[in-house]
Structure 1
Amino acid sequence: MTDTNDGDSATAASDRGGGLPPETRIGRGALRVADLDEAVAFYRDVVGLSVLDRNDGRATLGAGGAPLLVLERDADAPDRERSDAGLFHTAFRVPSRAALGEALARVREGWRLDGASDHLVSEALYLDDPEGNGVEIYRDRPREEWPRTGGGTARMATEPLDIEGVAETAGDGSDGGGVGSAALVDRAPADTDLGHVHLEVTSLSAFEAVYVDGLGFATGMSGPDVRFVAAGGYHHHLGANTWRGRTTPAGGRGLAWFEVVVPDVAALDAVRTRLDAVAAEGDAEFAVAERDDGIVVTDTDGIEVRVLTE
């Protein structure tokens, strides 16, 4: 990874009424799945989410009563093609290293781990759900420990995770069993959230036009084939990459939509203003529609992002 110059993106956002407020966060994500029962079982038993609501065609899962993931049954939707843009992974953020160790124990008990990395700012586990949707479970290090570039941006890398060190923390303070407790903790902590969403896109410049110039995220640590963008100095709320050479818009099963939550109506109006300016300049083709609680942006790759207020 190399750090891009985020001065241009910051200037562009300023020209269009400023960037996103620091309180901006990712809300819910939604997946279109063929087998709802199997998907619910995975996100409940492996990721550790609780089922908050369920009917024949839809399930909502979350932590501490807060909804984080919506699963929508669509058995007739085609499989995602290898060329389609869409989801790289949804990333569930747990509040501690002990909670990450508990997640690792659930994965080892009932699933398979595909990867594990130390990103300097965070420690992460990677796996795929039953339908091939990427999943990250991670914990952040304290912000004061994040390494920084010369420009002050959080510096990230991909290094091997001390996976056994993480495993040994399971049960530390959360189930009363002590460090390395053999008791399997079956639920993620109440303050687990959806920390970021990582997309596969066909064009990074089009991604930046919509999400940086339009929505107002700031570009952080990035490389030639990847962009990380965030609000409030976070390492990233959204990632986008072209690693697999996706060439066609999102289609079929997989990511249905995700939410960006801003703190107030003024912030939402500023997003509208910036998107209008980007549309007028013709830098990217995207659609904007109004809803009762905010707006829906369908980006260049057909990915739907819902911008809402708290």
Structure 2
Amino acid sequence: MNTVIHSDTQIGLVRLRVHNLTRSIEFYQSVIGLNVLKREEKTAYLSANGQSVLVEIEEHVDAVRVQPRTTTGLYHFALLVPTRKDLGVVLQHMLEQKMDIGQSDHYVSEALYLSDPDGNGIEIYADRPRSTWKRDASNHYVMGSEPIMWRELLDEAKDEQWNGLPQETIIGHIHLHASDLELAKEFYVEKLGFEVVGDYKAMRALFIAAGGYHHHIGLNVWAGIGAPSPPKGAIGLVYYTIILPDSTARNDVIKRLDKNGIDVKTNEDFYVFTDPFGIEIRLACK
């Protein structure tokens, strides 16, 4: 049994709980650039390529909305676009939409930040070439939070027509509020099998990944050490998915979890378990 998760592991779809489905669909289509692949009475399935689902949204009109940075759960999910030019087109579109956006140059990537109508955090970003990523003496990626070069990005767009997100867009990573980073490391690294690629104690954050990526999962304690889980059924993250390349790689993960006493439930298409912070995770195969 392998002790490290397969190098081709990726983050798959995320499912969010929202107050108003129609309002959310309008936002994710007109602002973010995803398309409705399928719609049910209370749920919509959103896609960039018309085939695979990236985001599911489910409506709960009476769900509680918690104050930001007060519980564990979603900080943001991150949509990775293929090129810097694509990110420039996104930026141009956001400015035309008069959206309130954040931004950051992380050295390994450039990112834009915003929230959906229910406060669910979203990052849209483009990676810099992996050959330019630098590691420190601890073999962790050197990352920062500098202003992006707005004009350069807009010049990349060159007045390209906005047609939604590129078909190659994927969920690049997910960033979570945890209540204890040592507990997070024990679970996600020692039990689940991800590798530490950034232990940023000054930032109170831990970044982990498979296959040498700059991070597939970010974990922070910005909601406070010992932060509680959100109330059951609250607005926010319902679950996120970890995608393994095949059933062998998935079974390795399941064996590790079972060995460590983690309760894994089965379904026809996925396996489901919960992290120490009440966050539901599903395992699936490509």
Deviations 1:51-92 (A, max 9, x none): 111122111111112210000111122112553211000100
Please name the residue that 1:305 is paired with.
281
The separation in 2 between residues aligned to 1:119 and 1:96, in whole angstroms, is: 15
Whether the aligned pair in 2 keeps the contact of 1:19 and 1:216 (CA below 8 Å) is yes
The separation in 2 between residues aligned to 1:186 and 1:262, in whole angstroms, is: 30
Deviations 1:179-203 (A, max 9, x none): x21x541311110000000001111
Whether the aligned pair in 2 keeps the contact of 1:33 and 1:39 (CA below 8 Å) is yes
The separation in 1 between residues aligned to 2:106 and 2:100, in whole angstroms, is: 17
Residue 23 (structure 1) aligned with residue 23 (structure 2): no
Deviations 1:190-217 (A, max 9, x none): 1000000000111112222221122211
Pick aligned residue for 1:143 from 104, 120, 130: 130
Please name the residue that 2:156 is paired with.
169
Please name the residue that 2:111 is paired with.
124
Correspondence 1:1-310 to 2 at 5 A: 17-65=2-50, 66-81=52-67, 83-170=70-157, 180-181=158-159, 184-224=161-201, 225-245=204-224, 247-251=227-231, 252-279=234-261, 287-310=263-286
Cα–Cα, structure 1 residues 186 and 111, in superposed 2: closer, same or farther, change >3 Å?
farther
Number of matched pairs:
279
Deviations 1:137-161 (A, max 9, x none): 0000111111222354432111111
Report the alpha carbon displacement of residue 305 of structure 1 after superposing the two structures with TM. 0.6
Supply the AA of the counterpart residue of 1:213.
E
Structure 2 residues not aligned, in runs of 5+: none
Q: Scaled by the length of structure 1, what TM-score is found?
A: 0.86
Report the alpha carbon displacement of residue 250 of structure 1 after superposing the two structures with TM. 2.9
Whether the aligned pair in 2 keeps the contact of 1:210 and 1:278 (CA below 8 Å) is no
Supply the AA of the counterpart residue of 1:98.
K
Structure 1 residues not aligned, in runs of 5+: 1-15, 171-179, 280-285
The separation in 2 between residues aligned to 1:29 and 1:118, in whole angstroms, is: 24
Identify which range, 43-52 or 77-86, moves more after superposition: 77-86
3-state DSSP of counterpart to 1:189: coil
The separation in 1 between residues aligned to 2:38 and 2:66, in whole angstroms, is: 26
Whether the aligned pair in 1 keeps the contact of 2:71 and 2:223 (CA below 8 Å) is no
Q: Scaled by the length of structure 2, what TM-score is found?
A: 0.92
3-state DSSP of counterpart to 1:220: strand
Report the alpha carbon displacement of residue 234 of structure 1 after superposing the two structures with TM. 0.2
The alignment-based identity, stated in percent, is 38
The separation in 2 between residues aligned to 1:39 and 1:294, in whole angstroms, is: 26
